[in-house]
C-alpha cells in the first residue's frame, strides 16, 4: 500500500507514548455539529468504538488511532484548508456504498492515483475524509 497510514500507540490519550513512538501522531480531534449522528455513522461504517465525556465531547478508537469529536458548528474540508484524513479499506466499492447508506455524502467518486484508488466523502456533521485502497 502506498497510502499514508496513521498509526498510534495502543494506549489511552492520558498515557504518554513510549520513547520510540514520541513523534508519531497520537490523537486526532474533529468538530461535529451532531455528535449522535456522527458517532452512529462511524460505528456503522467503520466499526469505531466511542466513549462519551459529557454532552459535548466523545472520543473514538479505530483499533490503531484514537481521537475525538467536540460539539461545534465548524467542520474540516480541503476547500477550507484542512488536512485530509485518509482511511484505508481493501473493499473500496463496498465502503463507498456503506458511506452512502449511513448518511455520508460522496463528494468525489472513486478515482485512481499513483498509489491506488480512493474516494472523498463528508460524514453527517460535514467533515471531509477519504477512503483509499490498493490499485
Q: Are 121 and 130 spatial neighbours (Cβ–Cβ below 8 Å)? A: yes
Proportion of the chain above pLDDT 90, given as a percent? 77
In this prediction the pTM is 0.83
Q: Does domain 19-133 have CATH number 3.10.180.10?
A: yes
User: pLDDT-based confidence at 2, cuts 50/70/90?
Assistant: very low
Contact between 96 and 90 (Cβ < 8 Å):
no
- Helices 92-101 & 35-46 angle (0-180, nearest 10): 150
How far apart, in whole angstroms, are the C-alpha atoms of residue 112 and residue 41? 25
Q: What is the pLDDT of residues 106-116, one digit of tens each?
A: 999 999 999 99
* DSSP per-residue string spanning 16-77: PPPGGGTTS--EEEEEES-HHHHHHHHHHHH--EEEE-STTEEEEE-SS-EEEEEE-S----
pLDDT digits (tens, 9 = 90+) for 87-100: 999 999 999 999 99
Gyration radius (Cα) of the chain, Å: 15
Domain ranges of the chain: 19-133
What are the residues whose beta carbons fall under 8 Å from the beta carbon of 131, sequence distance 6 or more? 86, 87, 88, 89, 92, 95, 96, 99, 118, 119, 121
Amino acid at each position: 500500500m502506498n497510502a499514508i497510514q496513521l498509526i498510534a500507540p495502543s494506549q489511552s490519550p492520558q498515557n504518554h507514548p513510549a520513547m520510540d513512538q514520541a513523534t508519531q501522531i497520537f490523537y486526532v480531534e474533529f468538530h461535529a455539529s451532531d455528535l449522535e449522528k456522527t458517532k452512529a455513522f462511524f460505528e456503522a461504517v467503520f466499526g469505531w468504538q466511542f466513549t462519551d465525556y459529557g454532552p459535548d465531547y466523545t472520543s473514538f478508537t479505530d483499533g490503531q488511532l484514537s481521537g475525538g469529536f467536540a460539539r461545534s458548528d465548524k467542520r474540516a474540508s480541503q476547500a477550507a484548508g484542512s488536512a485530509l484524513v485518509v482511511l484505508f479499506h481493501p473493499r473500496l466499492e463496498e465502503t463507498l456504498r456503506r458511506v452512502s447508506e449511513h448518511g455520508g455524502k460522496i463528494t468525489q467518486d472513486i478515482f485512481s492515483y499513483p498509489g491506488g484508488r480512493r474516494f472523498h466523502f463528508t460524514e453527517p456533521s460535514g467533515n471531509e475524509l477519504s477512503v483509499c485502497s490498493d490499485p
